Amino acid sequence: MRTPFLSSIALWLVLGASAPAHAQAARYQLDPDHITVGFLVDHVGFAKVLGMFRSARGNYRFDEATTTLSEVRIEVETASVFTNQRKRDDHLKGPDFLNSGEFPRMVFTATGAKRTGERTFEIAGQLELLGKSQPLTLQATWNKSAESPLGGPLRKPYVMGVSARGSFKRSAYGMNYAVANEWVGDEVPLIIEFEAIKQ
Protein backbone atom coordinates (compact mmCIF):
# COMPACT_ATOMS: atom_id res chain seq x y z
CA MET A 1 0.00 0.00 0.00
CA ARG A 2 1.33 3.45 -0.90
CA THR A 3 2.03 5.56 2.17
CA PRO A 4 0.87 9.20 2.44
CA PHE A 5 4.53 10.25 2.31
CA LEU A 6 5.15 8.41 -0.99
CA SER A 7 1.90 9.75 -2.39
CA SER A 8 3.01 13.28 -1.56
CA ILE A 9 6.36 12.72 -3.27
CA ALA A 10 4.62 11.36 -6.39
CA LEU A 11 2.26 14.35 -6.52
CA TRP A 12 5.17 16.77 -6.13
CA LEU A 13 7.04 15.09 -9.01
CA VAL A 14 4.00 15.28 -11.29
CA LEU A 15 3.33 18.92 -10.51
CA GLY A 16 6.99 19.81 -10.90
CA ALA A 17 7.19 18.13 -14.28
CA SER A 18 4.13 19.97 -15.56
CA ALA A 19 5.18 23.42 -14.32
CA PRO A 20 5.92 25.95 -17.07
CA ALA A 21 9.59 26.34 -18.02
CA HIS A 22 9.62 30.03 -17.12
CA ALA A 23 8.27 29.48 -13.60
CA GLN A 24 11.77 29.86 -12.14
CA ALA A 25 12.68 32.81 -14.35
CA ALA A 26 13.69 35.91 -12.42
CA ARG A 27 12.27 39.33 -13.16
CA TYR A 28 14.81 41.91 -14.34
CA GLN A 29 14.23 45.66 -14.35
CA LEU A 30 16.17 47.85 -16.78
CA ASP A 31 18.41 50.28 -14.90
CA PRO A 32 17.35 53.76 -16.14
CA ASP A 33 20.86 55.08 -15.40
CA HIS A 34 22.49 52.43 -17.59
CA ILE A 35 20.46 52.14 -20.76
CA THR A 36 21.18 53.57 -24.19
CA VAL A 37 18.75 53.40 -27.10
CA GLY A 38 20.53 54.89 -30.09
CA PHE A 39 19.87 55.08 -33.81
CA LEU A 40 21.54 56.03 -37.09
CA VAL A 41 19.77 57.73 -40.01
CA ASP A 42 21.26 58.62 -43.38
CA HIS A 43 21.28 62.34 -44.27
CA VAL A 44 21.22 63.07 -48.02
CA GLY A 45 23.82 60.34 -48.51
CA PHE A 46 26.59 62.49 -47.03
CA ALA A 47 26.74 60.99 -43.55
CA LYS A 48 24.57 59.36 -40.92
CA VAL A 49 23.05 61.25 -38.00
CA LEU A 50 23.64 59.52 -34.67
CA GLY A 51 20.82 60.04 -32.20
CA MET A 52 19.49 58.58 -29.00
CA PHE A 53 16.53 58.57 -26.65
CA ARG A 54 17.34 59.87 -23.19
CA SER A 55 14.47 58.16 -21.38
CA ALA A 56 13.58 54.46 -21.52
CA ARG A 57 12.43 51.74 -19.16
CA GLY A 58 11.50 48.10 -19.29
CA ASN A 59 11.65 44.62 -17.84
CA TYR A 60 11.79 40.96 -18.77
CA ARG A 61 12.15 37.48 -17.28
CA PHE A 62 15.29 35.38 -17.63
CA ASP A 63 16.26 31.96 -16.31
CA GLU A 64 20.03 31.62 -16.24
CA ALA A 65 19.90 27.84 -15.79
CA THR A 66 17.91 27.27 -18.98
CA THR A 67 18.81 30.58 -20.73
CA THR A 68 15.07 31.14 -21.25
CA LEU A 69 14.02 34.72 -21.99
CA SER A 70 10.37 35.80 -21.78
CA GLU A 71 7.96 38.70 -21.20
CA VAL A 72 10.20 41.35 -22.79
CA ARG A 73 8.94 44.93 -22.73
CA ILE A 74 10.97 48.07 -23.47
CA GLU A 75 9.28 51.49 -23.48
CA VAL A 76 10.98 54.55 -24.98
CA GLU A 77 9.80 58.13 -24.42
CA THR A 78 9.74 59.60 -27.93
CA ALA A 79 9.98 63.19 -26.68
CA SER A 80 13.38 62.33 -25.18
CA VAL A 81 14.96 62.10 -28.65
CA PHE A 82 18.36 63.83 -28.84
CA THR A 83 20.69 64.40 -31.80
CA ASN A 84 22.73 67.31 -30.40
CA GLN A 85 20.91 69.88 -32.54
CA ARG A 86 17.86 71.57 -31.06
CA LYS A 87 16.11 72.52 -34.30
CA ARG A 88 16.45 68.96 -35.63
CA ASP A 89 15.30 67.48 -32.32
CA ASP A 90 12.18 69.67 -32.35
CA HIS A 91 11.47 68.53 -35.91
CA LEU A 92 11.89 64.87 -34.92
CA LYS A 93 9.38 65.31 -32.08
CA GLY A 94 6.83 66.82 -34.49
CA PRO A 95 4.24 65.25 -36.80
CA ASP A 96 6.72 64.67 -39.66
CA PHE A 97 8.53 62.06 -37.58
CA LEU A 98 7.79 60.78 -34.04
CA ASN A 99 4.70 62.94 -33.35
CA SER A 100 5.50 62.78 -29.63
CA GLY A 101 2.48 64.82 -28.60
CA GLU A 102 0.08 62.18 -29.88
CA PHE A 103 2.31 59.11 -29.48
CA PRO A 104 4.51 59.64 -26.41
CA ARG A 105 5.92 56.10 -26.34
CA MET A 106 7.59 53.63 -28.66
CA VAL A 107 7.25 50.09 -27.29
CA PHE A 108 9.05 46.84 -28.10
CA THR A 109 7.56 43.58 -26.82
CA ALA A 110 8.49 39.93 -27.25
CA THR A 111 7.17 36.73 -25.70
CA GLY A 112 10.44 34.83 -25.98
CA ALA A 113 13.73 34.39 -27.82
CA LYS A 114 15.71 31.82 -29.78
CA ARG A 115 19.20 31.00 -28.58
CA THR A 116 21.67 31.26 -31.47
CA GLY A 117 25.00 30.74 -29.67
CA GLU A 118 26.56 30.33 -26.25
CA ARG A 119 25.58 33.87 -25.24
CA THR A 120 23.61 35.15 -28.23
CA PHE A 121 19.88 35.32 -28.87
CA GLU A 122 17.44 36.25 -31.62
CA ILE A 123 14.50 38.14 -30.15
CA ALA A 124 11.59 38.30 -32.59
CA GLY A 125 9.00 40.76 -31.33
CA GLN A 126 6.81 43.71 -32.21
CA LEU A 127 7.65 47.40 -32.30
CA GLU A 128 4.75 49.78 -31.72
CA LEU A 129 5.35 53.24 -33.14
CA LEU A 130 2.94 55.96 -34.28
CA GLY A 131 0.00 53.73 -33.38
CA LYS A 132 1.14 50.88 -35.62
CA SER A 133 2.73 47.57 -34.67
CA GLN A 134 5.25 45.87 -36.97
CA PRO A 135 7.65 42.90 -36.52
CA LEU A 136 11.14 43.74 -35.27
CA THR A 137 13.93 41.26 -34.58
CA LEU A 138 16.80 42.09 -32.25
CA GLN A 139 20.12 40.25 -32.25
CA ALA A 140 21.20 40.27 -28.61
CA THR A 141 24.38 39.32 -26.74
CA TRP A 142 24.32 38.44 -23.04
CA ASN A 143 27.54 40.14 -21.98
CA LYS A 144 27.73 39.35 -18.29
CA SER A 145 25.72 38.57 -15.17
CA ALA A 146 27.23 39.17 -11.75
CA GLU A 147 26.87 40.95 -8.46
CA SER A 148 27.64 44.60 -9.08
CA PRO A 149 30.81 45.91 -7.41
CA LEU A 150 29.14 49.33 -7.27
CA GLY A 151 26.35 48.46 -4.82
CA GLY A 152 26.02 49.84 -1.30
CA PRO A 153 27.49 48.24 1.82
CA LEU A 154 24.26 46.39 2.69
CA ARG A 155 23.15 45.12 -0.71
CA LYS A 156 24.98 44.69 -3.98
CA PRO A 157 22.50 44.22 -6.83
CA TYR A 158 22.77 41.31 -9.25
CA VAL A 159 23.14 42.81 -12.71
CA MET A 160 22.77 41.45 -16.25
CA GLY A 161 24.34 43.33 -19.17
CA VAL A 162 23.04 43.08 -22.73
CA SER A 163 23.95 44.50 -26.16
CA ALA A 164 21.27 44.35 -28.87
CA ARG A 165 21.03 45.45 -32.48
CA GLY A 166 18.19 45.66 -34.98
CA SER A 167 16.71 47.86 -37.68
CA PHE A 168 13.36 48.88 -39.17
CA LYS A 169 11.96 50.96 -42.01
CA ARG A 170 10.24 54.06 -40.69
CA SER A 171 7.97 54.18 -43.74
CA ALA A 172 6.34 50.96 -42.47
CA TYR A 173 4.87 53.11 -39.69
CA GLY A 174 3.73 55.91 -42.00
CA MET A 175 6.78 58.07 -41.26
CA ASN A 176 7.36 59.07 -44.88
CA TYR A 177 8.95 62.53 -44.57
CA ALA A 178 11.84 62.90 -47.10
CA VAL A 179 11.81 59.20 -48.00
CA ALA A 180 10.90 59.66 -51.68
CA ASN A 181 13.72 62.14 -52.39
CA GLU A 182 16.13 60.16 -50.16
CA TRP A 183 17.11 63.20 -48.11
CA VAL A 184 16.45 61.25 -44.92
CA GLY A 185 17.08 57.51 -44.83
CA ASP A 186 14.21 55.06 -44.52
CA GLU A 187 16.20 52.31 -42.78
CA VAL A 188 16.80 53.00 -39.07
CA PRO A 189 19.48 50.85 -37.41
CA LEU A 190 19.02 50.54 -33.64
CA ILE A 191 21.77 50.35 -31.02
CA ILE A 192 20.62 49.16 -27.60
CA GLU A 193 22.90 48.75 -24.58
CA PHE A 194 21.60 48.18 -21.08
CA GLU A 195 22.13 46.84 -17.60
CA ALA A 196 19.21 45.21 -15.82
CA ILE A 197 18.82 44.55 -12.11
CA LYS A 198 17.48 41.25 -10.84
CA GLN A 199 14.42 41.84 -8.66
Element (H, E) at 43: strand 26-43
pLDDT band at 22 (very low <50, low <70, confident <90, very high): very low
User: Model confidence over 58-67: pLDDT tens digits?
Assistant: 999 999 999 9
The whole-number average pLDDT for the span 132-156 is 91
User: Model confidence over 174-194: pLDDT tens digits?
Assistant: 999 999 999 999 999 999 999
- What's the pLDDT score for residue 23? 55
Helix (H, G, I), strand (E, B) or coil at 135: strand
Looking at the predicted structure, is the pLDDT value of residue 17 above 80? no
User: Between 154 and 15, where is the model more confident?
Assistant: 154
State the Cα angle at 71 between 109 and 175, rounded to 5°.
Answer: 5
- What's the pLDDT score for residue 7? 45
User: Model confidence over 84-94: pLDDT tens digits?
Assistant: 999 999 999 99
Shortest CA distance to 89 belongs to which of 40, 128, 51? 51
CATH of domain 25-198: 2.40.128.110
The structure's pTM equals 0.86
Could you state, in order of their start, the residue ranges of all structural domains in the chain? 25-198
Looking at the predicted structure, is the pLDDT value of residue 72 above 50? yes
Q: Which residues contact 66 (CB under 8 A, 6 or more apart)?
A: 21, 24
Least confident of 16-20, 46-50, 147-151, 164-168: 16-20
pLDDT band at 38 (very low <50, low <70, confident <90, very high): very high
